[in-house]
Structure 1
């Protein structure tokens, strides 16, 4: 936190601190003032009636100030309000000293207690504490002079003045160091809070990295599996394809429509096996660094691969696309296939959750300057407004516990960002949702 911001925050916290302690001190002062009636009865019984009236009046005034301190206007001026109510007992004590024994009166102790409380208990500023101590000393001098009828110079007066001056000095020192201690404590708390925020951000980044590493490990495993499948499956598939082609040329197959139809279906099945293994290999082998910059592919081909790979999830879903003739873009085809698989999978899950048929996914793309703008839109229940800004956060998911980690869109967002684009979400809750991203046009000369 910067220094001005730290001081601003400290001032706000100190205002609340001062209000709390000032109210506590005011109520404590009222109790002590009223308990002092016992002292009046023991020392000056002939003055008890007038002293009791003074005590009740001062206690009532302090109570009124305490009530006023709960208003917003007073809270902005809490130090002055505290100064005001703390000065009331000093005025009362000074009057009592003048009305009793002057410099010999025991009431000067009350002034000393008030001075100490201003520096030790109440959160006064240094200059306010010094002014309060000076006023208290002047009130004592005025009270003694009023009682004696002249400037008092008795030993008791001199000693009491020295004690009051010492109390004011000690209180000022306490005020200075208390203020420093409060600020250092607040600064420490602010630094701890800032470190906690940084730690939370670090943990969030680590969780994101962990999720991406898990995803990369899964993709690497799929790539290894796909490579093995491509080698092991292609040979028998090619043999089957050759056998089917030979069988289709036989006169018996040509003359029998049922046999010919079965052979055609078998050939299409073998072609599908080849496509699946090829798509898996393309999806799993991702590029990085310079390879990403040099890579180029036809977006239409990537989209067709993604649609085939999610074919088992998209039954009874009408998927259509409107693409420009030229869809050659720069980047990592496998990574974009992964993004499309995630977007299509989320769209299908959302539509099935809404259960409003027909299920439709519309994929459109158009060139804007040198960027291919892609939109994947479904007619599902859409995204709730309060969730729209959070859908790309790592581990944020609206699925049931155990149904998803909430990493798919976060990783997809990072993939598109790595390609120099932006993945964004649009939705009308209850009607539709759309995921939009853009890719750079390829400048490959061999296009």
Structure 2
């Protein structure tokens, strides 16, 4: 029985031995019963007696085979294997003793078990030596108990040499088989460790690649923002001034339609100003730079909502914040996380085609951190995919609609802030992403 402190090699060998012991015991059982053909050909007068013994040995072997399916049987597999190996040897020795002793043809049967044990079964070198000596000992005992005794010493010596040679050959086979198993196990362990290292390295490379792609996107967005501010802000300001002047004209006060049109135009320009203002965050701060400043999470989420306004068209976005949402961290990165969550939610809502598509954003203070949940009533996530959503390059979108890096990068961003991005979902009903950020400490 193996102890809990034995090496992984011996633990694996135990499982290997159980499988081979099951197959070997059944093979032994079949060969024992098939030996009745030899009984009929050589000793027909003892057929009934030999048949009874063979059936008894077969039943004992069957019990051992069934025991190997139990926890106790698997724990004592070494002893049970040697036991069912010894049963046919003892049967053959008995047959030798009650027939012709040294001259019995059943002597050949002892060799079959020796070679089978040495070549096929995963027994150790010492067990192989012990099995060979046991076989030879019961052979000598059977010959000695035969009525003819040990009178033909020359034949006995020849048979002994032959039997001892088989036992030695069997022991040598067990020795080299055991070495081969140990080398194979060591190789398997080495390959498994290298594979684990490669998997870990690939995951790290995938995360690095995801971060690099995200940084390139943020840098590109910063460049675009700077250009937009230069090209758009001035004409928008001129237009706003012109609209304000136009609304002071007495003619506007006399025409309700004209006034309404000017108000709509002014609101549209105000929205453009807000978008440009949101993009300033990316224009004047590089990703990862000044990543521990205090900012208002409520304002950051509103920026993300405006930047995904086209995708969220027709979606009811409900926001519930506590009184204070000041947090410390990398504002552009958190905006990027919210943009990703809003985009994913919008896609799920389009696929679900809800009559009342809704996204609910909730903030709650707990244990010195601000916990945020983003919940949508879209298609939900299948249980098989739920544990994989944060894996790099995993995506359920069609080819060309995404690299599957958004959530893995978002997970890393929240992790960098000392929090955890988690997901919960009911397939076909809803999905909820949650993360937490450290609240602002005015003393720092």
Q: Quickly name the TM-score band, shorter chain normalised.
A: 0.7 to 0.9
Provide, for residues 247-295 of structure 1, a one-character-per-residue CA deviation record: whole Å limited to 9, x for no partner: 33444445544444433333332232232233234247665556212x2
Matched, 1:176 2:175: yes
Q: Which residue of 1 aligns with 2:137?
A: 138
Distance 2:251 2:276 in 1: 33
CA contact (8 A) 1:297 1:331 kept: yes
Q: Which residue of 2 aligns with 1:114?
A: 113
Matched, 1:67 2:66: no
Change in Cα spacing, 1:49 to 1:324, as seen in structure 2 (3 Å) is same
Q: Structure 2: 5+ residue runs without aligned partners?
A: none
Distance 1:123 1:4 in 2: 17
Residue pairs, 1:210-289, within 5 angstroms: 210-283=209-282, 287=286
Question: Could you tell me which of 343, 346, 350 is aligned with 2:344?
Answer: 346
Change in Cα spacing, 1:319 to 1:109, as seen in structure 2 (3 Å) is closer
Matched, 1:408 2:403: no
Q: Which residue of 2 aligns with 1:375?
A: 373
In the superposition, the TM-score normalised over structure 1's length comes to 0.83
Q: Which residue of 2 aligns with 1:355?
A: 353
Provide, for residues 175-227 of structure 1, a one-character-per-residue CA deviation record: whole Å limited to 9, x for no partner: 23322322322332243234334433433443343333333322322222222
Q: CA shift at 1:57, angstroms?
A: 4.3
Distance 1:111 1:206 in 2: 61
Q: Which residue of 2 aligns with 1:321?
A: 319
Bigger shift: 299-308 or 187-196?
187-196
SS of residue in 2 equivalent to 1:180: helix
SS of residue in 2 equivalent to 1:362: strand
Q: Which residue of 2 aligns with 1:49?
A: 45
Distance 1:427 1:139 in 2: 70
CA contact (8 A) 1:322 1:363 kept: yes
Q: Which residue of 2 aligns with 1:392?
A: 390
Distance 1:419 1:257 in 2: 52
Q: Which residue of 1 aligns with 2:10?
A: 7
Q: Which residue of 2 aligns with 1:331?
A: 329
SS of residue in 2 equivalent to 1:291: coil
Distance 2:96 2:6 in 1: 48
Change in Cα spacing, 1:29 to 1:290, as seen in structure 2 (3 Å) is farther
CA contact (8 A) 1:379 1:432 kept: yes
Aligned length: 436
CA contact (8 A) 2:114 2:132 kept: yes
Distance 1:112 1:146 in 2: 21
Provide, for residues 308-366 of structure 1, a one-character-per-residue CA deviation record: whole Å limited to 9, x for no partner: 11111222222232323432221111111111122222233333333333223232223
TM superposition outliers: structure 1 runs of 4+ over 6 Å:
none
Q: Which residue of 2 aligns with 1:44?
A: none
Residue pairs, 1:272-311, within 5 angstroms: 272-283=271-282, 287=286, 291-293=290-292, 295-311=293-309
Q: CA shift at 1:137, angstroms?
A: 1.8
SS of residue in 1 equivalent to 2:420: coil
Bigger shift: 122-131 or 328-337?
122-131
Change in Cα spacing, 1:67 to 1:331, as seen in structure 2 (3 Å) is same
Residue pairs, 1:132-211, within 5 angstroms: 132-147=131-146, 152=151, 154-211=153-210
Q: CA shift at 1:305, angstroms?
A: 0.9
In the superposition, the TM-score normalised over structure 2's length comes to 0.83
SS of residue in 2 equivalent to 1:391: coil
Distance 2:425 2:95 in 1: 78
Q: Which residue of 1 aligns with 2:30?
A: 27
Q: CA shift at 1:23, angstroms?
A: 3.0
Matched, 1:125 2:159: no
